[in-house]
């Protein structure tokens, strides 16, 4: 069984991937692999770790953001291509969970289709009532975020106001993309029930 977990940062992709490791799954974490590829760039600024990748990339209104976000996407694409190559060479009876980034949806359709052909794509959704919580978490603990065309500062808006308003646009854009490529959607609140465990997760995707 090979599965890919998709969804916004903070929806539990890594949490569930680590739980599946206890059931014998091989965990391929895209965040870690991208960070490793960015190490030479990060080291120039004394950065290390996922949070520092977010600091290096910056915010969409900063001058350094376009160049950094472009480089990040290039490395993300390399990682997905390498994972797909690796999957082909791993014994077929190996269970694998691919822990993707929230920006997976910015990869070209051809690459996403290859991922869909090789893996079962599971979308961990975000309900409306949790969107603000995810945004606040992003501000407190910045992670690398690709905004695409979703950040548009309106006349008279402060950077903070624009960020807050456009984040909802970003969520809506990504939600549509996630739903389009997913084979299965798992509901946010269902995954957080105390009675819902790893075996329940596996039963849903079996």
pLDDT, residue 131, reads 82
Q: Tell me how far apart the alpha carbons of residues 78 and 35 are, in angstroms, rounded to a whole number.
A: 12
**Residue numbers of the domain that contains 121:** 2-205
pLDDT of residue 170: 93
Give the closest residue to 151 by CA, choosing from 55, 61, 63. Answer: 61
Using the CB atoms, write b or e for 5-41: b if 16+ within 10 Å: bbbbbbbbbbebbebbeeeebeebbbbebbbebbeee
Of 61, 15, 84, 58, nearest to 144 by C-alpha is 58
- The pLDDT value recorded for residue 86 is 95
Number of domains in the chain: 1
CATH number at residue 183: 3.40.50.300
pLDDT of residue 30: 98
Residues of the chain with pLDDT under 50: none
Separation of alpha carbons 74 and 96, rounded Å: 24
Res 142: pLDDT: 63
What is the per-residue pLDDT for 130? Answer: 86
């Amino acid at each position: 069984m090979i599965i890919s977990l998709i969804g916004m940062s903070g929806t539990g992709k890594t949490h569930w991937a680590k739980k599946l490791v206890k059931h014998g799954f091989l965990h391929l974490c895209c965040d870690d692999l991208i960070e490793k590829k960015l190490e030479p760039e990060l080291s120039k600024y004394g950065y290390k770790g996922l949070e520092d990748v977010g600091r290096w990339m910056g915010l969409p209104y900063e001058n350094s953001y376009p160049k950094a976000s472009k480089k990040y996407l290039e490395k993300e694409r390399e990682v997905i291509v390498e994972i797909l190559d690796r999957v082909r060479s791993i014994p077929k009876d190996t269970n694998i969970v691919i822990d993707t980034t929230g920006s997976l949806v910015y990869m070209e359709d051809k690459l996403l289709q290859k991922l869909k052909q090789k893996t079962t794509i599971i979308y961990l959704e975000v309900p409306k009532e949790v969107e603000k919580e995810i945004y606040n978490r992003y501000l407190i603990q910045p992670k690398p975020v690709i905004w695409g065309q979703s950040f548009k500062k309106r006349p008279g808006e402060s950077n903070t106001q624009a960020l807050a308003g456009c984040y909802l646009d970003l969520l809506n854009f990504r939600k549509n993309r996630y739903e389009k490529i997913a084979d299965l959607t798992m509901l946010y609140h269902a995954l957080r029930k105390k009675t819902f465990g790893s075996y329940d997760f596996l039963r849903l995707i079996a």
